[in-house]
Amino acid sequence: MRILGIETSCDETAAAVVANGRETISNVVASQIDIHSRYGGIVPEIASRQHLLTIVPVVSRAMSEASVSWQDIDGIAVTFGPGLAGSLLVGVNMAKAIALAKQLPITGINHLEAHIYANWLASPPSGEGRVSKEIPPPAFPKLTRDETRGGPLVATPHLSRDVSFPCLCLIVSGGHSDLVLMRGHGQFEKLGRTRDDAAGEAFDKAARILNLGYPGGPAIERAAISGTPCLPLPRAWLKDSHDFSFSGLKTALWHLVQKEGILTNASLVADAAASFQSAVVDVLVAKTIEAAKEFEVRQILLSGGVAANKSLTEHLLNFSPLPVLVPPPHLCTDNAAMVAACGYYHFQNGQVDGYDLDVVPSLSLG
């Protein structure tokens, strides 16, 4: 079953073709980072206008890179929330137009659920994407087109990523820091969330405080490489709760920067970046492991843009007593392959939407 995924919830216009919820046949992402970086953050009106300009070329390219025609596509999966209303509308309307014109079924996807399903996508041959040692990688058929015969997709051996339920999902993105218990496909229970800034938002704001540019996560990670986490910054443990809070940390960083004249010295900026990153990672890792033990899950699944952070993944892989799955970095940040992977399980469950599918900007999960 081949699904076309479409994603336009924020500042990436993305389309992908995925087979059987696992095999990425094409994955096209048009990023708007260069446009928004000059404003220091995402400008919603510009984002939706940019999606309008790029959605048709991006979908066409995903189809041509997959070497498929519309007859080869079995369904369309599109993000309908949460996200920016104007941005979501472009993807949802594109998906409905294709569905109507090509008589294909459509399913609306929760962006947060899609982030989790990035963990189902098979590891690329490069070995990117982390699977902790406890999980043996079973053989899984990879679908590739046999160009010489011009025939149908054929199976070749490929590594896959095995997920065992119940599992605990940590979704850390620009808008969310959610701990979600997943008991099966489509069965989610939210255990914790951020009470103020999301983890990615905190990285973005900290980078602004440190004059490191946008997006903040990769900028902080780069700066932290040459620093040491030696500066005193607080950790909000929020005992007896699975919630997170990062706004106090951000404010503490701001005060430290003012008091210590950090911006005048590049090595102090590096130390501040390393200290901030360490404070976020400590809390995310400790609280995730605590919840995993309490709910006796079999596995931990990391996802969302912040999961691209090496320090976070290394710490979680090192300290978790349970198997941990982390998608490769390009599948942690927004993409449509994860939307298509999630769509496959929706269609398997008979979850099909009508042409009245609408955007839900404040949609939550569990």
For ligand KG4, the binding residues (CB under 6 A) are 10, 173-175, 200-201, 203-204, 215-218, 221, 304-306, 308-309, 333-334
Q: Which is nearer to Zn ion, 50 or 173 (CB)?
A: 173
* Binding-site partner at residue 308 among ligand KG4, Zn ion, none, CB < 5 to 8 Å by type: ligand KG4
218 binds, among Zn ion, ligand KG4, none (CB under 5 to 8 A by kind): ligand KG4
φ/ψ of 136, rounded to 5, equals -70, 130
Single-letter code of the amino acid located at 261:
G
Q: Which residues pair with 188 in a beta bridge?
A: 182
| Inter-residue contact 280 to 234 (CB < 8 Å) | no
- Binder of residue 167, out of ligand KG4, Zn ion, none (CB less than 5 to 8 A by kind): none
Please select the residue that binds Zn ion; options are 12, 23, 334, 353, rule is CB under 5 A: 334
16 versus 68: smaller Cβ distance to ligand KG4? 16
Q: Which one, 194 or 309, has the nearer CB to ligand KG4?
A: 309
What does residue 205 show for φ and ψ, rounded to 5 degrees? Answer: -70, -40
Which token pair is 254?
């701001």
Separation between Cα atoms, residue 111 and residue 8, nearest integer Å: 10
175 contact, one of Zn ion, ligand KG4, none, CB 5-8 Å limit per kind? ligand KG4
- Among the candidate windows 25-33, 57-65, 261-269, 333-341, which touches Zn ion by CB under 5 A? 333-341
| CB-CB contact of 78 with 104 (8 Å) | no
Rank residues 99 and 284 by Cβ distance to ligand KG4 and give the closer one. 284
Does 173 interact with Zn ion (rule: CB under 5 A)?
yes
Between CA 363 and CA 301 the distance in angstroms is 21
Neighbours of 350 (CB within 10 A): 8
Contact between 177 and Zn ion by CB under 5 A: the answer reads no
Distance in angstroms (rounded) separating the CA atoms of residues 98 and 114: 21
Residue 227 binding result from ligand KG4, Zn ion, none, given CB thresholds of 5 to 8 Å by partner type = none
163 vs 273 by CB, closer to ligand KG4: 273
- The CA distance from 268 to 366, in Å, is 41
Nearer to ligand KG4, 68 or 114 (CB): 114
We find the least distance from the C-beta atom of residue 304 to ligand KG4, in angstroms, to be: 5
Measured in Å, how far apart are the chain's first and last C-alpha atoms? 27
Identify the CA nearest to 12 among candidates 98, 116, 91: 91
307 contact, one of Zn ion, ligand KG4, none, CB 5-8 Å limit per kind: none
Closest distance between ligand KG4 and the C-beta of residue 198, in Å?
7
Helix (H, G, I), strand (E, B) or coil at 354: coil
Q: Which is nearer to Zn ion, 99 or 109 (CB)?
A: 109
Out of ligand KG4, Zn ion, none, what residue 50 binds, judged by CB under 5 to 8 A for its kind, is none
Kind plus residue range of the DSSP H or E element containing 89: helix 85-102
Q: Residue 160 or residue 194: which is nearer to ligand KG4 going by CB?
A: 194
Q: Give the number of other CB atoms < 10 A from CB of residue 258.
A: 11
Q: Which is nearest to 286 in space by CA: 260, 329, 319, 245?
A: 319
Q: How many residues bind Zn ion (CB under 5 A)?
A: 2
Q: Which does 7 bind (CB under 5 to 8 A by kind): Zn ion, ligand KG4, none?
A: none
The least distance separating Zn ion from the CB of residue 149, rounded to whole angstroms, comes to 39
CA distance 308 to 302: 10
Contact call for residue 303 and Zn ion (CB under 5 A): no
Q: Which residues bind Zn ion (CB under 5 A)?
A: 173, 334
